[in-house]
Amino acid sequence: MKKNLIKLLLISVLLLGATIESIAAQADNLLTSLLWHPGGQYLAGVRFDYTAQTAQVEILDRQYTTLWQMPIPSDRQLWGYSWNLDGTQLAFITQEFYDTIRIFIWDVDVTTAPITVQLRVEIQEDNRNPVYGWSPTDPYLLAVSRGSAVQFWDTQVGAASSILPSFSPLPSPYGVEMIAWHPSGQWIATHDSGDNLIITDVSVDPPQTVASWTIPDRDPSGLEWSPDGQYLLISDGDQREGRNNIFILAWDDSTQTLEQERVLTNDTRVQWLQWRGHRLLTMSEDRAIDIWDTDTWQLESVIERANWPVEYQWNALALTPDGTELAYISPEGNHIVSLPIGTVACTFSPANSTDLLTAIADANGTPEPDTICLIDSATYTFTTAHIPLNALPAITSEITIIGNGATLSRQAGSPLFGFFEVNTGGSLTLDNLTLNGGDVGNDTGGALVNE
């Protein structure tokens, strides 16, 4: 029988002397990277079996159930993968031999149940270190580096684009190492092996270099535009002083100029960054995750990962497109943890146990996901079961309960019952909530029932 999802985040469940610190959707093998679908309803991931030395690309739903998987041949090394503009195509790039790179473009139809995935085209590149980036305006246009040049591919037909000509930001021998496409689609930022940051206008024929910027410390590791295209970020390590700078460069569309606006400093080298919505996420060599509020440029939170095994890749986390939820791999590497980021929009805010009953019943009746926020550190006491053996209505829709340190408690001496039952169609996420005293009179557990 297929189980419905229950995710518990930062939760302590007190039951018959046992404490469960964290439970999430289980995965069979070690997950090493994640990437959200542009619509936010799916994740692409890579699962690696270290014993068998095999890997596969997967697509998972919001309950982290695998919907599709594609094994990667053992003689190929996965370099990267990404969704196109509207999530109808997924590209991943592998190295087959010393100098043979293959880019696979898969058509993805998420409107069918189950989803269907079909190989569209396979592109072979005689280039040792290619990088690529999807167009933000054309779902079938892919920019791929070829040494010091950037070439455009039409992924519908699997050939060089007949609309955009290739260009070289700077003459050889410098190879393009990073590509970032401006959200408008008019400009492409590139970084090359000569540590040159170049902005090229690709809306004209031939493409023209319009701006450049000198990289101070010559150890860049990330290049990204802000979602609105007003800023360009480049992460640049300072090996002499053992720190990392993230330079935030203001971009002026009208004058096509870059100007340094601010610098974010980190004690260790930043290996990876993402700007989604109003949040910037960075990950450092010390495996700490920093989350910045880009409206105020205040450091919003830090997630320490010092205890993670070294074999886990640095990109084993992903922000949703709106920047409100972070999915990352557990320290054990065998399941995904989902963490709300920033201010949570509460659908219901029950003040007592009766209000909580009503809130769950009302949330079950809505087609949209609902978030129920409890009072900080409050205790919600229950004396009777609402349904057989459970204090609360069965969960039949997608519900998140933000506990804020609150406790749900069965009053001593009350009839035996637990708290939650998740039925068909239900999905329950509990965050920072303690369940105390649940008891159904047998050894099957007294807090949760997952039908």
Cβ(195)–Cβ(220) below 8 Å: yes
Read off the pLDDT band of 362 (50, 70, 90): very high
Cβ(326)–Cβ(281) below 8 Å: yes
- pLDDT at 13 (0 to 100): 30
What are the tens digits of pLDDT across the range 398-410?
Answer: 898 988 888 999 8
Query: Other C-beta atoms within 10 Å of 29: how many?
Result: 16
Per-residue buried b or exposed e for 33-67, using 16+ beta carbons within 10 Å of the residue's own CB: bbbbbeebebbbbbbbeeeeeebbbbbbbbbbebb
Instruction: Give the contacts of 264 (CB within 8 A, at least 6 positions apart).
Output: 245, 246, 248, 282, 292, 297
User: Token pair of 159, please?
Assistant: 């050939």
Q: Is residue 157 scored above 70 in pLDDT? A: yes
What are the tens digits of pLDDT across the range 225-243?
Answer: 999 999 999 987 665 555 6
Q: Closest Cα partner for 244 from 253, 234, 254?
A: 234
Q: Which of 108-112, 166-170, 253-257 is modeled with the greatest confidence?
A: 253-257
Q: How far apart are CA 405 and CA 390, in angstroms?
A: 21
Q: Is residue 7 scored above 80 in pLDDT? A: no
Read off the pLDDT band of 359 (50, 70, 90): very high
Bridge partners for 219 per DSSP: none
427-431 and 398-402 strand pairing: parallel
- pLDDT at 23 (0 to 100): 28
What are the tens digits of pLDDT across the range 58-87?
Answer: 898 877 788 888 888 766 777 788 999 999
Q: How far apart are CA 223 and CA 207, in angstroms?
A: 20
Read off the pLDDT band of 89 (50, 70, 90): very high
- pLDDT at 232 (0 to 100): 96
Question: What pTM, to 2 d.p., does this model score?
Answer: 0.69
Average pLDDT of 298-323? 67
Q: Which of 86-95, 111-120, 121-130, 247-256 has the lowest mean pLDDT?
A: 121-130
3-state helix vs strand vs coil in the chain, percent to 5: 5, 50, 45
Bridge partners for 279 per DSSP: 276, 293
More confident residue, 320 or 27: 320
Q: Is residue 177 scored above 80 in pLDDT? A: yes
Read off the pLDDT band of 315 (50, 70, 90): low
Read off the pLDDT band of 379 (50, 70, 90): very high
Distance of CA 448 to the CA centre of its chain: 28
What DSSP state is assigned to residue 185? S
Average pLDDT of 116-139? 82
Average pLDDT of 401-429? 87
List the strands of the sheet with 54-61, edge to edge. Answer: 30-36, 42-49, 54-61, 66-72
The domains located in the chain, with CATH, are: 27-340 (2.130.10.10), 353-450 (no CATH)
**Alpha helices (runs of H) in 352-440, residue ranges in sequence order:** 353-364
Q: Is residue 301 scored above 70 in pLDDT? A: yes
- pLDDT at 290 (0 to 100): 84
Q: Is residue 432 scored above 80 in pLDDT? A: no
448-450 and 420-422 strand pairing: parallel
Bridge partners for 297 per DSSP: none
- pLDDT at 20 (0 to 100): 23
Establish how many alpha carbons lie within 13 A of residue 250's alpha carbon, considering only the half-sphere containing its beta carbon: 7
- pLDDT at 208 (0 to 100): 94
Q: Is residue 377 scored above 90 in pLDDT? A: no
Read off the pLDDT band of 447 (50, 70, 90): low
Q: Is residue 341 scored above 70 in pLDDT? A: yes
- pLDDT at 251 (0 to 100): 97
Distances (CA, A) of 134 to 26, 152, 270, 321, 346: 31, 10, 23, 15, 35
Distances (CA, A) of 288 to 54, 207, 270: 28, 39, 9
Read off the pLDDT band of 273 (50, 70, 90): confident
Query: Other C-beta atoms within 10 Å of 7: how many?
Result: 22
Q: What is the mean pLDDT of the chain?
A: 80
- pLDDT at 12 (0 to 100): 29
Q: How far apart are CA 418 and CA 12, in angstroms?
A: 15
